[in-house]
Chains A and B, each alone.
Chain A
Amino acid sequence: MIRMPLASASLLAIAISLAGCGEEKAPTTQAAAPAAESKQATPTAAAEKADNTNAYDEAAAKAVVSHYADIAFAVFSDAASTGKALHEAIDTFLATPNDANLKAAREAWVAARVPYMQSEVFRFGNAVVDDWEGQLNAWPLDEGLIDYVAKDYQHALGNPGATANIVANTEIQVGEDKVDVSKITPEVLASLNELGGSEANVATGYHAIEFLLWGQDLNGTNPGAGDRPATDFVVGEGATGGHNERRREYLKAAADLLVSDLDEMVGQWQAGVADNYRASLEKDNAKNGMRKMLFGMGSLSLGELAGERMKVSLEANSTEDEQDCFSDNTHNAHFYDAKGVRNIYLGEYKKVDGTMLTGPSLSSLVAKADAKTDETLKADLADTEAKLQVMVDSANNGEHYDQLIAADNAKGNQIVRDAIAALVKQTGAIEQAAGKLGISDLNPDNADHEF
């Protein structure tokens, strides 16, 4: 929406408008020029114009889409390697379940989230990612499906698996059906996702592992994360929690599945494979590829990150709706989600090994079409990152996301609100940039598979 003070309507403008009134076309060149310009400014008209004259060079655009696939490959490869590091840390912890090894496993989990969150921008627009990601990052979950929970545990209404407690039971009752879970394997766990149709039944992925490593965060909006003792994984003397053999099996199986899932997605983005997703993306025309890029950026910015992940938790003061709620790692989750959006626009990604991947970018294409639009979007993306950095700094200084969203924390609320506002603004700039490239329909054909 463009808001303009009335005062900027000059006398000249009024004179011209009066002169033009009642005639089909404005009679002066001064008036005719803005009228023509305004036509182009309506996005549909701009899109049509682009179709005829092309707002970008097709070969250059193809290179941008290819580089997008390069970034995806690098990000998912990093997610897979840090996933394997997490798996190793879990093996070490299970071999010797003490505090130091639990701490190391938790640190490995936090590190694994850094590339994974930067992969989320690929979700929207690329069905191959979106259909796959539920098994890895579904959220929020009713953790009572997995293990013991506190007495005042709140779950989704009507979820028949909300208190099934797989760790404690070899057979679980779901409605009228009994499900055999005597053996905890990756396949069994995967089959339990969305048990009974409830999306809160999440048996696998980062958040299931997070819950097993940290346990419930019982501090609400007060300081502190989950505090599961390492002894929950001890067998024999000093063991706590109960059913520890099964809890150990569970953690191992969930880590196995995570690693194999991540490897699978790396394969989809590998260059030079005839029948993987990347091949089909590169075969398609550049416009469809760029539409997916822009759709992913906008959907993650607005509906998902600003909306589902921040606004809901903030306005409802609800720690139940916090992304990394067991570990209190939410600030990083948000930061790297937004970083992923920025990566796609700038065509860059800082790998886990510290090297920088750079290449042809949307930014360069937009700059050629309209330098100002490019500058605006770049500035907005930088501003969002700065606002999220405030959230990260706050956490590093001891005040975490779940404290920021407390009803009586005006200052904390403002930090979240500023980040939301920056994301909303950035989404507007993404739409403008899309318009400059002649992409007006931001809903890719395959984005409707969800509903």
Chain B
Amino acid sequence: MNRSPLTLALLSVLLGACTPADPQQKVTSALADGVILPAYSSWAEADQKLAASGQAFCAGQQDLPQAREAFRAAQSAWAGLQTVLVGPITEGNRAWQVQFWPDKKNLVARQVQGLLKKYPQLSAADLEKSSVVVQGLTAYEYILYDESIDLTDAQQKNSYCPLITAIGKHQQKLSAEILADWQAKDGVASQFKEFPNPRYAEAPEALADVLRSQVTAIDVLKKKLGTPLGRQSKGQPQPYQAEAWRSNASLANIAATLASAERLWHGANQDGMQSLLGSDQDALKKRIDAAYLDTRQRLAALQRPLSELLKEEDGRAVLNEFYDSLNVLHRLHEGELARTLGIQLGFNANDGD
């Protein structure tokens, strides 16, 4: 794009000065307050509870089911954040510190064991300089759920507790820092409301960033479902390649991501992306509405955990239908919606293998 800074400045200030006339700015502003900020708040809150739960569990004040519940809540909040991975979470590999997936070679087992061998009394600082694989939810899930680990055994529990509490603290700190970045005066949220700013020259750039994140998240859902379904491996199911297979939360995570994608579309007060489509775009609007409804209904009808459904032919059939439904939703956003909004999505990190 051949835009000189002066041209940009001229244009941006023009747009900025005419706030009420700019529908894209209205939408990014509404999404920041109504959808994005609440998602980051929920995530930080869930991580705060996760850290508290880890400490309480290790102090004998919480039992394993309670610790697992806190974990699943944190995992679900993270899944709900997938569609709004814009701003500071995308910098410095922070997203990978929260979750490492896919873990094709079961690195989490090797690295957790290696870490505890190296640092039997692991500190927060030790964790921070270690691999992303052991810093987040992936390792936390492994410790709380893996068959090889028995946390009712006092000796085992003692050996894992330094890591449980260190991960909890790390996640709490990370999410609190990012939330603070969003909420600060002249923080990230304000960069979705006033333009130009150090992040975006104009509202369409901010909107494009959100749409890119949303489309990528839906694309990744296809991967999260398609990989265990064996869509890339001669149709033979690969249950251990699923996300969150240990905690049996694969479908719950997909539901959380889908719900947040739909919130971006509708907006908290019917002021989301759909409000940018004029009356001449009613047909597209209806198709996207219908696609969300279809994915939601199919997901609700699944009822049983992914691992069980994968074992049966009927189960795989309904999962494949759900996959097709996700695919329709993805195509509508990536193609027609992006084109209608004048947004080029470009390459994303999934364009490789």
Chain B binder among A20-28, A57-65, A253-261: A20-28
Chain B residues, Cβ within 8 Å of A1: 199-200, 205, 209
Residue ranges of B at the interface with A (Cβ–Cβ < 8 Å): 1-3, 5-14, 16-18, 21, 93, 96, 100, 104-107, 109-111, 129-133, 196-202, 204-205, 209, 222-223, 226, 230-241, 339, 342-344, 346-353
Task: Verify A35–B14 contact, CB threshold 8 A.
Answer: yes
| Complex Cα gap A200–B238 (Å) | 11
Question: What interface size band does chain A fall in?
Answer: 35 or more
Least Cβ–Cβ distance between A384 and chain B, in angstroms? 15
Contact assessment for B352 and A307 in the assembled complex, using a CB-CB cutoff below 8 Å: yes
- Contacts of B130 on A, CB cut-off 8 Å? 317, 407
**B196 to A200, Cβ gap below 8 A?**
no
**Do B353 and A308 have beta carbons less than 8 Å apart?**
yes
What would 7 A/B residue contacts be, using CB atoms closer than 8 Å?
A: A20-B18, A35-B11, A37-B2, A154-B109, A158-B238, A197-B230, A318-B107
Which of B199, B241, B339, B347 gathers the greatest number of chain A CB atoms within 10 Å?
B347
Known: A4-B5, A155-B105. A316 touches B10 (CB 8 A): no
Q: Which 6 A-B pairs have the closest CB atoms?
A: A197-B236, A303-B352, A304-B352, A43-B344, A158-B240, A157-B240
Q: Known: A154-B106, A320-B105. Is A299-B347 also a contact (CB below 8 A)?
A: yes
Identify the closest chain A residue to B202 (Cβ).
A38
Given contacts A3-B199, A38-B7, contact A198 B233 (CB under 8 A): yes
Q: Which of A2, A30, A45, A124 contacts B3 (CB 8 A)?
A: A2
A26 to chain B, nearest CB (A): 6
Which residues of A, 395-451, contact B by the 8 Å Cβ criterion? 407-408, 427-428, 430-432, 435, 440, 442, 450-451
Set of chain A residues within 8 Å of B200, measured between Cβ atoms: 1
Query: At the interface, yes or no: A146 with Cβ under 8 Å from chain B?
Result: no
Bound: A196/B11 CA distance, A? 58
Contact B131 A198 (CB under 8 A): no
The residue of chain A having its C-beta at the shortest distance from the C-beta of B114 within the complex is A220
Cβ contacts under 8 Å, A26 to chain B? 14
Interchain CB contact (< 8 A) of A44 among B104, B132, B339:
B339
Judge whether B107 and A320 touch: CB under 8 Å: yes
Known contacts A38-B3, A156-B104; is A302 also within 8 Å of B352 by CB?
yes
The answer on a CB contact under 8 Å between B347 and A30 is no
Task: With both chains docked as a complex, state the minimum distance between the C-beta of A195 and any C-beta of chain B, in angstroms.
Answer: 9
Contacts A8-B9, A154-B106, A155-B105 supplied; 10 other A-B pairs, CB < 8 Å: A2-B3, A6-B197, A6-B198, A30-B10, A44-B343, A199-B233, A298-B346, A299-B352, A318-B131, A435-B344
B102 (CB) vs chain A CBs: closest residue: A312
A14 within 8 Å of B by Cβ? yes
Q: State which residues 356-376 of A face B: CB under 8 Å.
A: 370, 372-373
B310 CB, nearest partner CB in chain A, Å = 11
Q: Which residue of B lies closest to A38 (CB)?
A: B11
B2, A370: Cβ atoms closer than 8 Å: yes
A235 at interface, CB cutoff 8 A: no
